[in-house]
Amino acid sequence: MRLRISNGRVIDPANTIDGVQDVFIADGRILAIGDAFQGFTADREIDATGLIVCPGLVDLCARLREPGQEHKGTIASETLAAASAGITTLCCPPDTNPVIDTPAVIELIRNRAEAAGYARIVPLGALTEGLAGESLSEMAALKEAGCAGVSNALRPITNTHVLRCAMEYAATHGLTVFLNPEDPWLRNKGCMHEGAVSTRLGLPAIPESAETAAVARDLMLIEQTGVRAHFCRLSTARAVRMVARARYDGLPVSADVSAHHLYLTEMDVADFNSQCHVTPPLRTQRDRDGLRAGLARGAVAAICSDHQPHEPDAKLAPFSATEPGISSLDTLLPLSLRLVDEDVLTLSEVLACLTHKPAQILGIEAGTLSTGAAADICIFDPQRYWELTESTLQSRGRNTPFMGWEFKGRVTHTLLAGKIVYELADS
């Protein structure tokens, strides 16, 4: 299909494009950007007057629950939700069931994503076999099968020697190691941030040092092994400063934060709200401000959804017994856009954190509107208000603390390789 998106404000941070222009698409790829393209006849034209046209969003962490937990969500249901949120590429951690530690599991995920046809899935391979933290995985085979990096997800590697060997092996194969920094001994089965709120509620708590001690250990090993590493979902201001210092010193490290950690704090848990039970835990107001400052300074490169859909029963228990996680694909873009209204980042900077910067971390060709690139595009109305309700939430998971919130900024169209995979009903 030959497509023309006309009169939209095209923002492509990777190419420093920001202006009202037309986008021309043919054979699933960007043909040109400009006011006119001689001889081009479109099969369909999208009038984007008053809308933002940007690259499709790249989400660094989304659990799709398949294979293994299809009662929470499936690749088809969650990629459809992603499409409605402007997300065209999702990175899937390896803690599926079975674990992504063989090429067969990667092929299964790829096949089901292609059959659904709503978004691309970039899997991470397991850093250790079965994520058990004992034996190294077959990283060469995982890379050949298409993994963008390796990770042990939320499972700790308690043996530091094993982690060192895993980093050395990953460096040998040019793979990025995705780290969830948390010391399991300091976590000590906690379920929320350690502070005045946890003391008042009487809940087992996770100190800041559980994150910072792990970051310190990992940075030492990264320096020793030379591996390229990415810190996932930092939650403390101090960890952000540590990563910023390491980057200044020349270590090949990057970091991301989840959109909900940029808005919620430990105070949101104050009424035992299980929808705010997340890993890493919601921290203090100072930590939240530190994460925002890290984004503004460039120490934190990307904003992700950390999408974790659950069935209703997973949140219906005493706080510490509920399953952590938020269904957050739907709120990734509108929460991020709030950073613009609150003068934390410019619109172009926010979109960079959602498009080409996460694509660079994954080492994939995505997140840009460069000529010849795949036409993965998000079109949204920046002035449109909408409310997150049971009827507007697209993910199968209903677990979100943002239910009832009014958001500004609504996706109207999402294109995957030039094909319209989502179109708002009244757009």
In whole angstroms, what is the distance from residue 111 CA to residue 89 CA? Answer: 15
Selecting among 12, 183, 306, 381, the annotated active-site residue is 306
Q: How far apart are CA 223 and CA 3, in angstroms?
A: 48
Q: Where are the beta strands (DSSP E) in 335-405?
A: 377-387
Please identify which residue in the block is written with the tokens 């990175």: 91
Q: Are 270 and 285 in contact (CB under 8 A)?
A: no
β-partners of residue 362 are none
Please tell me the total number of residues recorded for the chain in this structure.
427
Strand 120-123: give its sheet, edge to edge. 57-59, 87-92, 120-123
Cβ-in-10-Å burial (0-12, 13-18, 19+) of 316 comes to exposed
Residues 7 and 20 sit within 8 Å (Cβ to Cβ): yes
306 is catalytic: yes
C-alpha span between 86 and 239 (Å, rounded) = 30
Q: Which amino acid is at 43?
A: D
Task: Of 319, 312, 310, give the one whose Cα is nearest residue 277.
Answer: 319
- Amino acid identity for residue 313 in this structure: D
Q: Which of the residues are catalytic? A: 306
